[in-house]
Amino acid sequence: MNSNMEAKKYMNPYLAGFILGLALIASFYFSGRGVGASGAVKSTVTTVVNTIAPEHAQDSHFYGKYIKGGKNPMNAWLVFEILGVIFGGLISGALSGRLKFTIEHSPKITAKTRIILAISGGFFVGIGASLGRGCASGAAMSGMAVLSTAGFISFMAIFGGAFLFAYFFRKLWI
Amino acid sequence: MGPLITQGIISPEWNPMIAFIIGIGFGFALEQAGFSSSRKMIGIFYGYDMIVVRMFLTAVLTSAIGLLFFNYLGWVDYDLLYVNPTFIWSAIIGGLFVGLGIIMSGFCPGTSFSALSIGKIDAMAFVGGIALGVFFYAETFELLFEKLFKAGNLGNIRIYDTLGISPGLFMFLFIIFGIGLFWFTIFIKKKFSARNLKY
């Protein structure tokens, strides 16, 4: 830890995991559902397409189900939850002195490479989370919290996939 | 008895507020643990940082054990909790795509929102990338993905039914597995700490 922006150390991961677990229990106890993240992006994309090309959106098998009967896709549980995630992260970063505009990357790659890889990685995550009905939080973590078979399959596929491809991208990280 | 909103004990109008508050807990925990750093999070795949396993699995075990106890104590109706449906092929192939994206970017959607909240520009680029991926998926859905998306539907099943054992026995085995994995992370981290990466 050589940089001065690391004002405070990170929390013990087991304690942070326990807090996250309590948030998950609260989510199921109140709303009967778990947390997620990629769904909020899906709502945003659907809203943008529906605003620019409403007829195209109505015809689509993908967008159609989110806007049927004049439903507003932004009025979704996950959208409010993600606004909370951003706010919660901001509070944590402020308390620990980690608020700073920066591009974080390994010294062995340039900031430009980092941004290109971040966008490309996001692109694959966007496809994968849509196809797999959720990401690491929505499908895997929330699924496993209620012991759904889908949660365990998603968990193994996501982590297995990342380990499978890790060798090919090692120069980006180590 | 929960889930409170599903059963109409609290009005659904509270959903956005509750979602927001739970999101704060989620985002706070992710950032505090260090998930806002892509290089810290990716450490699990190269053996130099174990937060992913430690935090993720602790959260899963805490919530799975907690909800099972809530059910036994009659505080929550387990059958009313949302169980995501198992579509075997789309879950596997979609998961592999997500895995590829994670190793390229060092983020998954949840962690990227916690990272962008503290000013990580690469996280903002990643979220833009997700939007592009969703758009590509949506526009080619009927052509490329629809058949795969709907194939192999096994319904809203739970893992202990799939394996044919009781919930209690499954949970016991899962806890043993978790403790084993936690122990394993200590071993792995010792082995790789010689690299002494600065990040």
Residue B1 lies in a domain: no
Query: Do B149 and B192 belong to one domain?
Result: no
**In b/e form, how buried is each residue of A49-62, taking b as 16+ CB within 10 angstroms?**
bbeeeeeebeebeb
Asked if A38's CB is within 8 angstroms of B103's CB, the reply is no
Over the stretch B105-128, which tens digit does the pLDDT of each residue have? 999 999 999 999 999 999 999 999
Interface test with A, best of B103, B111, B140 (most A CBs within 10 A): B103
Final residue of a structural domain among A81, A100, A119: A100
Query: Do A43 and A16 belong to one domain?
Result: yes
Beta carbons within 10 angstroms of residue A80's beta carbon: 21
Residue B19 lies in a domain: no
Over the stretch B40-78, which tens digit does the pLDDT of each residue have? 999 999 988 999 999 999 999 999 999 999 999 999 999
Query: Do B146 and B92 belong to one domain?
Result: yes
Q: Does A97 touch chain B (CB under 8 A)?
A: no
- Number of compact structural domains in chain A: 2
Mean of the per-residue pLDDT values for chain B?
94
Query: Do B51 and B71 belong to one domain?
Result: yes
Q: Does A82 touch chain B (CB under 8 A)?
A: yes
Q: Does A7 touch chain B (CB under 8 A)?
A: no
Number of Cβ pairs closer than 8 Å across A and B? 538
Q: Does B46 touch chain A (CB under 8 A)?
A: yes
Query: Do A72 and A8 belong to one domain?
Result: yes
Query: Do A120 and A95 belong to one domain?
Result: no
Query: Do A115 and A89 belong to one domain?
Result: no
User: Domain range spanning residue B173?
Assistant: 31-80+162-199
User: Domain range spanning residue A116?
Assistant: 102-174
Reported confidence tier of residue A7, pLDDT bands at 50, 70, 90 = low
Over the stretch A13-72, which tens digit does the pLDDT of each residue have? 999 999 999 999 999 999 999 999 999 999 999 999 999 999 999 999 999 989 988 888
- Number of compact structural domains in chain B: 2
Share of chain A above pLDDT 70, in %: 96
Query: Do B75 and B129 belong to one domain?
Result: no
ipTM for the whole predicted complex goes beyond 0.90: yes
Asked if A35's CB is within 8 angstroms of B22's CB, the reply is yes
Residue B22 lies in a domain: no
Over the stretch B152-195, which tens digit does the pLDDT of each residue have? 999 999 999 999 999 999 999 999 999 999 999 988 877 776 55
